[in-house]
Amino acid sequence: MDVNAAVAAASAIAGLCTGVIAVLAFRWSERDQARPTRTSLHTDAVLPPGVDTVLSVLRSSAVVLDESDSVVKASSAAYALGLVRGGKLAVDPMLHMARDTRRDGEIRQVELDLPRRGTGRGEALAVSARVAPLGSRLVLLLVEDLTEARRIEAVRRDFVANVSHELKTPTGALSLLSEAVMGASDDPEAVERFAGRMQIEATRLTNLVQELIDLSRVQNDDPLEDAEPVRVDTLVAEAIDRCRHQAGTKQITMASGGTADLYVWGNRGQLAAALGNLVENAVNYSAARTRVGIAGRRVAAPGGDLIEIAVTDQGLGISEKDRERVFERFYRVDPARSRATGGTGLGLAIVKHVAASHGGEVTVWSSEGQGSTFTLRLPESGAARERSAVTRAGTPVVDEDDESQPYETFLSEPLSAPEVRQ
């Protein structure tokens, strides 16, 4: 009996202890749930009403700091730029600005160059940071990304500098030649020679001004406002006629093929100028007694069929380091040769803008010593696509993916490059 009584007493005591522990744990849990967390304290109790909503719609990167320099609120853009890491502001100059503003209440602004996250190339991220007090305890930091604006400004400066240089060259030459003509008034042969040079420089100046106008037009105008179905063979014929004299002077054979029944959708004038620039470049940079070919074909694409127009030459080719930059304004692979041919360095830039504004692209394949192929890809006209669907029902269609039918098949002799399309 004594043993049973002892066991019963021990069991009662154990049960009482378990109940007490359970009650204490429940009370402790309730107190923890009622206690505000660090996040809720910062976002709900500290931020003034409406600030969270305003910060979420700002285009600038926003960061709110408390009196201990902890991040109370940060936009997703701030994390993307690497401004906030581990709940702290990771940019020391901005942190010092925030502390100074918290101390004296003054608004501060500064422009900084920050290293990009995840790149080891030392590329700078240009930002403008503005710090202002937010209530009595918080500081608001707004950061604007100026990288793209800086890049555009650099492009604008380079463009102005290049235009000034290109205009200065022919105008300076005209001034000197006019003085030479005046000094050689008693020498008819010298006058004739200087007058011929003046005509060349005047033509170069006229071409430069015209290409500047064309480039400005294709950048500012919407070509699809006056869009229409344009026959590719008509564009090719115009491009060949444009360069027929230069090609004849150098005994360059010009051939075309595969452009029948192909239509593109766009501004006829801009498309003709773009293709004309490609053909003119091919003629100007080809050696004498070579060939320039223009070929077209339809290729399948996920968003609809595309029309490829390839211009192939047998010139010296373009080195790999220059291929990335040939579409830049005023960039020349060989400046001396470009000046000899009257090139302005704007032709390929115009082609690039025309292709992009029409929803297409232009690419280049080249091999030094073998030649180059510039390929213009443009969306096919919708009406032409419907017509082609009808004609395909009873007409054999060339397989666009058949590599045994390269662009060079319409030439009398194939080019040495086995593959010319991108």
Query: Which 3 state secondary structure label does DSSP give 35?
Result: coil
b/e 68-85 (16+ beta carbons within 10 angstroms → b): eeebbbbbebbeebebbe
Question: Which pLDDT score is estimated for 411?
Answer: 42
Buried b (16+ CB within 10 A) or exposed e, 114-128: beeeeeeeeeebbbe
- pLDDT attached to residue 22: 52
Distance CA 178, CA 184 (A): 10
Residue corresponding to tokens 């006058």: 191
* CATH architecture under which domain 224-410 falls: 2-Layer Sandwich (3.30)
Tokens of 43: 């976002």
pTM greater than 0.75: no
Q: Give the pLDDT confidence of 167-184 residue by residue, as tens digits.
A: 887 888 888 888 888 888
pLDDT per residue as tens digits for the range 270-322: 999 999 999 998 998 888 999 999 999 999 888 788 999 999 999 888 888 88
Weakly modelled stretches of the chain, pLDDT under 50: 1, 26, 29-30, 32-45, 119-121, 336-337, 383-385, 387-392, 394-422
- pLDDT tens per residue across span 297-311: 999 888 788 999 999
Average pLDDT of every residue of the chain: 76
Distances 353 to 63, 235, 296, 349, 383 between C-alpha atoms, Å = 39, 18, 20, 6, 24
SS3 302: coil
- 82 sits in the region (left: phi over 0; alpha: psi -120 to 50; else beta) called left
Tell me the domain boundaries of the chain: 42-145, 161-220, 224-410
List the structure tokens of 50. 């409406």
Q: What is the 3-state secondary structure (H, E, C) of 98-161?
A: HHHHHHHCCCEEEEEEEECCCCCCCCEEEEEEEEEEECCCEEEEEEEECHHHHHHHHHHHHHHH
Assigned fold of 42-145: Beta-Lactamase (3.30.450)
Q: Give yes or no for a contact between 260 and 298, defined as CB atoms under 8 angstroms apart.
A: no
